[in-house]
């Protein structure tokens, strides 16, 4: 598989919502982690079920390790992001890559530990490049620990999806936008098109 990866470890600890955006961005190919001391992270990802179909040639006739143009693929995987109050963090992206300032969750301060479990689902086309070019991405995130006991859910859709509204306030990665962005205690921040009672 063709994979691009540029990373620099820093003491910056991304928030769970930023990590959610980045997980979506990894699928889209425009993931960004930026801070004063960190650089851009660009990476493509293939989940195990998708890899089996690629290996068998079922969705990769040219054997370049990427789903062919016009092939719609579905994927689901889990990821773990954990951090402590001291600024250390650990991120298992769910596809075999692990990043962070420490080697495992056990290396984080147990007294100030927060963990966030991600369930990532997607459906879309990769168009024979390592990044998702169209479709949708959904994350369900549940955090627990020292400073976050919240749940976050989001659905990002491409402009080819009928749910796409073209609202620049919720735009991400140019031709994608949040269709749903919920946080515990706040509701859907994108405000549903058809609110109850309307």
pLDDT tens readout for residues 45-56: 555 556 666 676
What is residue 190's three-state secondary structure?
coil
Dist. CA 140–CA 16, nearest whole Å: 11
Q: What confidence tens digit (pLDDT) does each residue in 96-144 have? A: 889 999 999 999 999 999 999 999 999 999 888 878 899 999 999 999 9
Kindly state the tokens that stand for 167: 């609202």
Q: What confidence tens digit (pLDDT) does each residue in 148-159 have? A: 999 999 999 999
The predicted model scores a pTM of: 0.68
User: Cα–Cα–Cα angle for 163, 28, 179, nearest 5°?
Assistant: 25
């Amino acid at each position: 598989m063709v994979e691009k990866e540029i990373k620099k470890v820093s003491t910056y600890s991304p928030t769970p919502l930023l990590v959610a955006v980045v997980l979506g961005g990894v699928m889209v190919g425009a993931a960004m982690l930026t801070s004063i001391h960190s650089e851009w992270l660009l990476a493509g990802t293939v989940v195990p079920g998708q890899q089996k179909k690629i290996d068998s040639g079922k969705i990769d006739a040219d054997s370049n390790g990427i789903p062919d143009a016009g092939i719609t693929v579905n994927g689901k995987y889990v990821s773990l992001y954990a951090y402590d109050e001291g600024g250390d963090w650990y991120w298992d992206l769910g596809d075999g890559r692990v990043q962070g300032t420490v080697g495992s969750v056990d290396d984080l301060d147990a007294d100030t530990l927060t963990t966030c479990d991600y369930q990532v689902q997607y459906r879309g086309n990769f168009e024979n490049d390592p990044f998702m070019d169209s479709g949708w991405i959904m994350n369900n995130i549940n955090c627990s620990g020292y400073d976050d006991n919240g749940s976050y859910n989001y659905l990002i859709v491409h402009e080819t999806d009928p749910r796409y509204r073209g609202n620049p306030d919720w735009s991400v990665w140019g031709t994608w936008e949040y269709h749903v962005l919920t946080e515990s205690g706040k509701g859907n921040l994108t405000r549903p098109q058809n609110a109850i009672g309307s």
